Structure 1
Amino acid sequence: MDNLTLEVLVHELTPALLHKTIQKIKQTADRTLMFALRSRKTEFLTVCLNPSHPSLFLTEKENKFAEAVSTDWLVSLRKYLIGGRIVNLSKKLADRILFFDFENNRVSSSLEKLTLVLELIPLKPNALLLHESQEILASFLAQKAPSGVEPAFYKPPETKSAFSVDQITKEEFQLLAGRGSFSTDLESVKILRRRDPLAGFEARKEPPLGSKLSGISPFFVREMAHGATHDPEVLWERFQMILKRVRLGPHSPQIYFLKPSVAPSLPAKVMPSSKATGMAEKILVVPFPFDSLNGIQHQEFLSLNAACIEAYQIFRARSHFLKRQQSLTSNVTAHLKKRARLLESLQADLRKNESFEILKKYASLLYAQQEKSAPGKSMLRVVDLFDPNQAEIEVPLDPRFSVIQNANRYSKLYQKANRSIPSIKARIQKVEAEIKLLDFQQKTLANAETMDDLERALEPPRKMSGQTRVGQDGHAIEGCDTTRDTAAHPQNLLRKAVKSFISSEGLSILVGKSSKDNDILTLRIAKSEDFWFHVAGYGGSHVVLKNPGKLAMPPSQSLLEAAQLAAYFSQARNAPKVEVHWTQKKFVSKPKGSKPGLVRLKEYRAISVRPQLLGGEASEP
């Protein structure tokens, strides 16, 4: 998040955070902290310390983004902050460092003042808990131990820039602007944008002004210079206008999708485009529209907090996609290397067996000898009857056997090698086809842009039969013939493995019949955007609510009915009310080597329902 954008966000969130009390604190495996804040109602402050996307935002509902973890840092936060009240939130204009001041008397009888420091600096974010004296009580990242036994005190990260946006004078700014240069040639920008809509907007590695002035990003520098002359006076006025708008508004938060990829469509406020943006490779959150990014696909929000929530969800979706893509690609690459080694070994065996043609010649020459000498010779010199010149050759012998026994031995070795050649050639043909399929999967995975693309990449083309493909769990599935295996057809799988229902809102609900059928339903039939249900704490069927519209949330009545079916088809059928966990199928995975029906949920929500069977079961598909 850009520093000036963070400045606007802090001003927006400060009224909502002041005087709130910390109820509970959680930390997840993806470097995210969640603070439950209580005043008249409970709200949740989420702080992301991921180096690729340091950010924070406030939500009304708890988001179970990832599996919770326990660390010494988290223990310290809970010890000092739970029960504490936020009394102040501050930030310097030039720094991406937030200071949350707390008052708490949980540890000591007297009122204790503490400060939570959030350094939301890209590539090296950190969080520290400070005593009133600025002594460091705990740190998210490990700190260098001070010499001796003296306590460590907090020092803000040093900046390499000579000037900052909150202290630079007009003369200093004009001096820097006079030395710098900006891409303001509108005609050249227009020519470049015909090839690339982002040409002229991507920040240079070392912007002349941005590298000397802390607190302003290259994109804000480009916005400041957009359409302006090289006159330092004009640039100073535009610089002041940007700072004034950051402080006072008006604000109209935007997300610009700088490198969009295909993904589920966003709400109607997104500018029309042939590609959706839910899996954008690079996004930019700004507090107001940028003239320098005019024409770039973007989305407008009512608040900067809402924009930050959407940006975080896009970041998580992209991270989950890249992690899954990397995992599948690694598995395919590993299988591809194994097949390549097997092919090399088979080809060597084929060359070796084809070279055994000489054994037939040795056997024939030995059989043609009139003298059947006794054992003891290691070599016999004979006339080559197959040579037009009738030259003599040396035939190696095993001293343990006679000539006729050596002839028999050569004959058997030749017959064995001759019999193996067709099978080796058949295996080579099969392995070559498997390598072709794995290579196809590897290229498809590399070009995938959505989770559905990744799933489709694991499905072999219909014309490639009897080959190896890598399944959803990353294991090779051999001999898969998609053209003849009618049992694997989706309709046949659906008929044999699940019960089918229709919700009152017209959506299909599928229920697994057994543990093995649960695996088939979850791993082979359900799509990544479908909704998945299972009763909490009891054995039971997997239930899938189909999501053809790729909605972010299921319709309320369909959600209730699917949860009721999950409770009914479980060991808790006779309970008055049970809890059911639900999530999207893309957050469901199967641990390696686990028993049928056992899965792992990366994130989920819960709903309490009464076990109940729907009035009408759908006909068999």
Structure 2
Amino acid sequence: MSFDGTFIHSLLTEIKPELVNSKVSKVYQPFEHELVFVFRINRQNKKLLISSNPQYNRMNLTDEKFTNPTVPPTFAMVLRKHLEGSFLFKIEQVGNDRIVNFYFLTRNEYGDEEELVLSAEFMGRHSNIILYSKRTNKIIDLIKRIAPDKNRARLLLPKADYELPPLTDQENPFDLSLEEFNASVKDSDDLSTLSGLSGQTKNELNLWFDKKGKSYQEFTAFFAQFNTPKATEMINNGKTSFAPIPPIDIDNYDEIVSYPSLSELLANFYQRKANSEWVKQRSSHVDMLTKNQIKKLKKKIQALIKQQNQAENSEDYRIKGELLTTYLHQVKPGMPEIELPNYYDENNSLIKINLKPELTPSKNSQWYFSKYQKLRNSIKYVQEQINIARSELNYFQGIEENLRIATPNDIEQIVQELREQGYLKKNRKQQKTRNHKKLSEQDITKYQSSEGNSILVGKNNFQNEWLTFKKAQKKQYWFHVKDIPGSHVILQTTEPTDAEIQEAAEIAAYYSKAQSSAHVQVDYVEVKRVKKPNGAKPGFVIYTGQNSIEVTPQPNKIDQMKL
């Protein structure tokens, strides 16, 4: 039913018992539009994500770990100053609209008790998160500051008076009386008088009326369901939607998935989309560097191949040099060109030879011999340069693939690698010390095979090398897509079944550039047969004695195996 007012109503039935009467422990702003609050209650930490992302605005409890920016954004610093250590005593939805107010008790710099309100507005591209004082009604700060010329409805800047966004004059369906129902709903087809209802929710209510009759009793029964939500995800024709209650006509959907909570439902639904957005925010400079390097290297390889072809066809220069030497008496100073019999040709046909008028005849023949020798000598060098450029291109295509499958927490490892390789400048702290974060199994994506064995996936070169050369045992099995950038995958068993080989190979194909291909060739071999050549770039390995299997990655099957 989308993230509408009725969904928020249901979500608050889960969030309020978890957070009301808690203390704000920490506040983070890991990304431009997202806040993470850590609340302490009953000796436990609860994390709440609030997002004002134009496309993925929402809130939900989360267990996800976020890597925060080195320098906190201004709004995060303001929230820490005013809210850390404060007491959350109330959470309230404004009517049935997409606005949720969090009420905090804190103390100001003078030690006086103060009530602050954090207002989360989930309104698409107009979404915002605003902190204001309840006593003065003045905005302290907000996650999106809007210039007056961009919003004439209200002023969204610090120190301005807080005003609600323009709301329609509609009725809250959860508070509707019998008289109001009879006056505005009973004879209405579009339900336009009710607030907070998306098109999908209205459709469900009409289906409810069609099946049970359009009465006030059935109206209240329909909305009573939202007080005891059952988190539901619906899949139809490859499209996924969600709702706080099961749909009425379940036969209209290809698949119905239930979740333990609405927060878990939202986390699952938005995770990939939001991760993609967060990765873009964090990796824009790396993405630009990678694309520029790939473009430059492809152009360089084309130029080198052209030079190589020219060198390999250099015999023409030797022949012309020899013909000029043989017929030197026919060459007159200052001639721009000459035609001479080519005795290397069976028909002894004439060959046109361009000359440099400023050179003597003998110097012209020497120029052709010199050009020939230079080209012949360059063949080995040019081939070496082509190999180096291709290796560099493979490396950056691997980085491009790493960025595609990266989570926000993976980006810093990719940045660190590029700094160490000299492609990105090191900041002063990194020049003074190599402050490496030690990798652990927590950084690795995990799956479970049908036999209960772990399948581990590295999503960047640091993780790949740690996984292959530190974590994996020598007799366990290593998987990688053949001749295509992709992840190192370890199947943690020394005696894999055919089914496990198939599963691990599908995961390797899924985490590669061939993810959407139908027939993907995957090599697999014991870890002890995988080596890294001296001086090779991060992530590059060679292996021998491998077997191969052709697979088709199946995302739904792979998702079910994830731990």
By the TM > 0.5 criterion, same fold? yes
Q: Distance in 2 between matches of 1:119 and 1:328?
A: 32
Find out whether 1:224 has 2:224 as its counterpart: no
Q: Distance in 1 between matches of 2:372 and 2:185?
A: 89
The verdict on how the C-alpha distance between 1:26 and 1:405 changes in structure 2, with shifts beyond 3 A counting, is closer
Name the structure 2 match of 1:288.
245
Q: Structure 2 matches for 1:77-476, cutoff 5 A? A: 77-132=79-134, 133-144=136-147, 151-159=159-167, 163=170, 166=173, 172-173=184-185, 177=189, 214-226=195-207, 234=214, 241-246=221-226, 249-256=227-234, 284-294=241-251, 295-305=253-263, 307-308=265-266, 334=292, 336-349=294-307, 352=310, 354=313, 357=316, 360-361=319-320, 363-370=322-329, 377-379=334-336, 384=341, 396-401=355-360, 403-417=361-375, 419=376
Aligned pair partner of 2:59 in 48, 56, 61? 56
Q: Distance in 1 between matches of 2:28 and 2:337?
A: 85
Deviation of 1:36 after TM superposition, in Å, equals: 4.2
Q: Secondary structure at the match of 1:137?
A: strand
Stretches of structure 1 lacking an aligned partner (at least 5 in a row): 181-208, 261-281, 456-469, 478-505, 511-515, 528-544, 549-594, 597-621
User: What is the RMSD of the two structures over their aligned residues, measured on CA atoms?
Assistant: 5.7
Name the structure 2 match of 1:2.
4
Deviations 1:37-61 (A, max 9, x none): 45553442413215143333457xx
Aligned pair partner of 2:466 in 518, 521, 524? 521
Q: Secondary structure at the match of 1:291?
A: coil
The verdict on how the C-alpha distance between 1:524 and 1:372 changes in structure 2, with shifts beyond 3 A counting, is same
The verdict on how the C-alpha distance between 1:428 and 1:123 changes in structure 2, with shifts beyond 3 A counting, is same
Contact 2:27–2:84 under 8 Å retained in 1: yes
Q: Distance in 2 between matches of 1:153 and 1:380?
A: 86
Q: Distance in 2 between matches of 1:111 and 1:355?
A: 88
What one-letter code is carried by the residue in structure 1 that aligns with 2:57? P
Q: Distance in 2 between matches of 1:345 and 1:150?
A: 57
The verdict on how the C-alpha distance between 1:153 and 1:524 changes in structure 2, with shifts beyond 3 A counting, is farther
Contact 1:359–1:411 under 8 Å retained in 2: yes
What one-letter code is carried by the residue in structure 2 that aligns with 1:154? Y
Deviation of 1:7 after TM superposition, in Å, equals: 0.7
Contact 1:30–1:66 under 8 Å retained in 2: no
Q: Distance in 1 between matches of 2:390 and 2:468?
A: 26
Contact 2:139–2:158 under 8 Å retained in 1: no
The verdict on how the C-alpha distance between 1:29 and 1:76 changes in structure 2, with shifts beyond 3 A counting, is same
Deviation of 1:289 after TM superposition, in Å, equals: 1.2
What one-letter code is carried by the residue in structure 1 that aligns with 2:58? S
The verdict on how the C-alpha distance between 1:237 and 1:438 changes in structure 2, with shifts beyond 3 A counting, is farther
Name the structure 2 match of 1:576.
none
Contact 1:343–1:431 under 8 Å retained in 2: no
Q: Distance in 1 between matches of 2:272 and 2:342?
A: 79
Contact 1:80–1:104 under 8 Å retained in 2: yes
Q: Secondary structure at the match of 2:35?
A: strand
Q: Distance in 2 between matches of 1:435 and 1:77?
A: 45
Q: Distance in 2 between matches of 1:57 and 1:301?
A: 14
Q: Secondary structure at the match of 2:132?
A: strand
Contact 2:129–2:144 under 8 Å retained in 1: yes
Deviation of 1:91 after TM superposition, in Å, equals: 0.9
What one-letter code is carried by the residue in structure 2 that aligns with 1:217? S
Q: Distance in 2 between matches of 1:334 and 1:309?
A: 34
Deviation of 1:364 after TM superposition, in Å, equals: 0.7
- 307-316 vs 91-100, which deviates more? 307-316
Instruction: Name the TM-score, length of structure 1 as normaliser.
Output: 0.51
Name the structure 2 match of 1:200.
none
Deviation of 1:117 after TM superposition, in Å, equals: 0.9
Q: Distance in 2 between matches of 1:128 and 1:445?
A: 36
What one-letter code is carried by the residue in structure 2 that aligns with 1:223? E
Q: Which structure: greater helix fraction?
A: 2
Q: Distance in 1 between matches of 2:396 and 2:72?
A: 41
Q: Distance in 2 between matches of 1:390 and 1:24?
A: 88
Contact 2:304–2:385 under 8 Å retained in 1: yes
Name the structure 2 match of 1:553.
none
Deviation of 1:4 after TM superposition, in Å, equals: 1.0
Q: Secondary structure at the match of 1:399?
A: coil
Name the structure 2 match of 1:579.
none
Contact 2:232–2:245 under 8 Å retained in 1: yes
The verdict on how the C-alpha distance between 1:81 and 1:314 changes in structure 2, with shifts beyond 3 A counting, is same
The verdict on how the C-alpha distance between 1:286 and 1:427 changes in structure 2, with shifts beyond 3 A counting, is same
Q: Distance in 2 between matches of 1:99 and 1:86?
A: 11
Name the structure 2 match of 1:558.
none
Deviations 1:298-357 (A, max 9, x none): 443444455456556666666678889999987775554334313431354356554872
Q: Secondary structure at the match of 1:156?
A: coil
Contact 1:101–1:115 under 8 Å retained in 2: yes
Deviation of 1:127 after TM superposition, in Å, equals: 1.4
Q: Distance in 1 between matches of 2:95 and 2:35?
A: 24
What one-letter code is carried by the residue in structure 1 that aligns with 2:327? A
Q: Distance in 1 between matches of 2:111 and 2:400?
A: 64
Q: Secondary structure at the match of 1:244?
A: helix
The count of residues paired between Structure 1 and Structure 2 equals 421
Deviation of 1:154 after TM superposition, in Å, equals: 1.5
The verdict on how the C-alpha distance between 1:137 and 1:408 changes in structure 2, with shifts beyond 3 A counting, is closer
Q: Structure 2 matches for 1:9-48, cutoff 5 A? A: 9-29=11-31, 31-38=33-40, 40-48=42-50
- 45-54 vs 357-366, which deviates more? 357-366
The verdict on how the C-alpha distance between 1:65 and 1:15 changes in structure 2, with shifts beyond 3 A counting, is same
Instruction: Name the TM-score, length of structure 2 as normaliser.
Output: 0.56
Q: Distance in 2 between matches of 1:518 and 1:302?
A: 32
Contact 1:367–1:404 under 8 Å retained in 2: no
Q: Secondary structure at the match of 1:408?
A: helix
Q: Distance in 1 between matches of 2:353 and 2:23?
A: 97
Contact 2:142–2:158 under 8 Å retained in 1: no
